[in-house]
Amino acid sequence: MHVVSYALFLVALFQCRFLAFAILDPIDFLALQSIRKSLHDLPGSNFLASWDFTSDPCNFAGVYCASDKVVALNLGDPRAGSPGLTGRIDSAIGKLSALAELSIVPGRIYGSLPESISQLKGLRFLAISRNFISGNIPVTLGRLRRLKTLDLSYNQLTGGIPRSIGTSPELTNVILCHNHLSGSVPPFLSQVLTRLDLKHNALSGSLAPYSLPPSLQSLSLSWNRLTGPVDKLLSRLNHLNYLDLSLNQFTGPIPGRLFSFPITNLQLERNSFSGPVQPTEQVTIPTVDLSHNRLSGHISPMFSTVQNLFLNNNYFTGQVPSSFVDRLLSASIRILYLQHNYLTGIEISPTAEIPLRSSLCLQYNCMVPPVQTACPLKAGKMKTRPTSQCKG
């Protein structure tokens, strides 16, 4: 009798162990094993310690299941200071057919992105940033028609941005900054795209007027080699709250209506923008940087409400509007850089005291600065332009 009971106990135990393995789909189980073999904890990290395949993989760190399928994979340890993971992303990742979210937090993952990621038809969130991913962005990522966020920033990716990615209809965030990408910026057709960050690459070419959707709220293209005019494009993007096009080779005018958009930080410095700048209304953008361009004409009084205004190293002429002086002396303006232009005067008393928390630089214009103020070192030591440059 005791022998029979013990035998039944062993059968029950075997069934329980079998059921424990049957919780997860066998294909997903094998895929996780392959993924685990290709990854390792960096010294000081113990993220993969919980990946013991004698237990339920749905209880592993970073593995999230629904029913018998893996739906999210968040690899690494997000705690501050954790060194993360190293190794490669195994192509078996493409076997997790129900995967909707894939992220790998900062670490030392190297090698290329496996093409098999494009098999994850339900993938909505793909974020593998601050690692050492190299090679090209797979053209086949354009097959991920449900993808909302694509973040491959701070890696070593090369080649171009596939045009197929721009056709994904549900993209809301595309973050490819700090790589070595080249070629042109493809058109983005998603009408729900809100953030596009491509800064610090080697992108070139021009942007067509309708290449970006008006849904954009944040656009960063700085530190590239982009050229051509953007006035027609920018005029359409009236939901922008952040714009950084600095350190490119953009040309042509800056549209006046841009300054009425709900932007908090406008960075257009170090390009080749030209012509006058005429905002259509009083500018409420806290920081406006138009320095190191080829802008000309008079300075609009509409800029006097900007807290940090950089108009230096351009071709502005005429008098500085009196409204600037009033706001400067009341410390409403914190930074007013007007050096290296062709300005002819400013109505401010030589005995006026500039508030300590405000900074004014007027040197190297077609006037002797009426007040002595500290300028940045890059402004040089020359107080006034040579008379020969100021005739006419």
Count of beta carbons in the 10 Å neighbourhood of residue 29:
18
CA-to-CA separations, 285 to 41, 243, 323, in angstroms, rounded: 46, 11, 17
Rounded to whole angstroms, the Cα distance separating 262 from 361 reads 28
Amino acid sitting at position 236: R
Domain around 52: 25-110
Residue 268, SS3? coil
Q: How many residues does the chain have?
A: 392
In a domain, 318, yes or no: no
Among 245, 208, 205, residue whose Cα is nearest residue 227? 205
Rounded to whole angstroms, the Cα distance separating 219 from 224 reads 13
In a domain, 183, yes or no: no
Residue 153, SS3? coil
What is the per-residue pLDDT for 58? 96
Q: What are the φ and ψ backbone dihedral angles of 89, each rounded to 5 degrees?
A: -90, 115
Query: Is 262 in contact with 284 (CB distance < 8 Å)?
Result: no
In a domain, 7, yes or no: no
Count of beta carbons in the 10 Å neighbourhood of residue 99:
26
* HSE-up (13 A, CA, CB side) for residue 27: 10
Rounded to whole angstroms, the Cα distance separating 232 from 47 reads 49
What is the per-residue pLDDT for 79? 73
Query: Is 97 in contact with 69 (CB distance < 8 Å)?
Result: yes
* HSE-up (13 A, CA, CB side) for residue 203: 30
Contacts of 240 (CB under 8 A, 6+ apart): 216, 217, 218, 219, 234, 261, 262, 263
Rounded to whole angstroms, the Cα distance separating 120 from 116 reads 8
105 secondary structure, DSSP code: -
Rounded to whole angstroms, the Cα distance separating 72 from 62 reads 8
Rounded to whole angstroms, the Cα distance separating 292 from 247 reads 9
What is the per-residue pLDDT for 12? 44
Rounded to whole angstroms, the Cα distance separating 148 from 100 reads 10
Rounded to whole angstroms, the Cα distance separating 34 from 40 reads 12
What is the per-residue pLDDT for 11? 38
Q: Which helix (H) or strand (E) holds 32?
A: helix 26-37
In a domain, 247, yes or no: no
In a domain, 383, yes or no: no
Q: What is the CATH number of the domain that holds 81?
A: 3.80.10.10
What is the per-residue pLDDT for 8? 42
- Return the ∠ at Cα 281 (arms to 360 and 346), rounded to 5°: 30
What is the per-residue pLDDT for 16? 43
Rounded to whole angstroms, the Cα distance separating 102 from 86 reads 16
In a domain, 12, yes or no: no
- Burial (Cβ within 10 Å: 0-12, 13-18, ≥19) of residue 60: buried
Number of domains in the chain: 1
Among 301, 299, 324, residue whose Cα is nearest residue 312? 299
In a domain, 161, yes or no: no
In a domain, 103, yes or no: yes
Per-run averaged pLDDT (10 residues), the chain, 392 residues: 43 41 86 98 93 95 96 87 91 98 95 98 97 98 97 98 97 98 98 98 98 98 98 98 98 98 97 97 98 98 98 98 94 96 94 91 94 89 93 71
Provide DSSP, 122-149: T--EEEE-SSEEEEEPPGGGGG-TT--E
